[in-house]
Amino acid sequence: MLLSADDAKLFFRLHRSLMCFVNDRLQIIPDIDGPVQFSALCSLSPTRRRRHGGV
């Protein structure tokens, strides 16, 4: 499926928010304060994610 640029931006904004909500409920990665912080953590390498408490 191809999305327009606006739809792609909306999708990724909603996806980050949803991942943050799930993380708040399940506490998979501790101490994440919002979608921006979650997004920054996801861009780290797997080794650095582990150091920051991620999987």
Q: What's the CA angle centered on 36, arms 30 and 39, to 5 degrees?
A: 75
Could you give the CA distance from residue 55 to residue 32 in angstroms, rounded to a whole number? 13
- pLDDT tens digits for range 2-11: 989 999 999 9
- pLDDT tens digits for range 14-55: 988 898 899 899 988 888 888 888 777 766 555 555 555 555
8 A C-beta contact, residue 30 and residue 22? no
Q: Indicate the pTM of the whole model.
A: 0.61
Question: What is the end-to-end Cα distance of the chain in Å, rounded?
Answer: 29
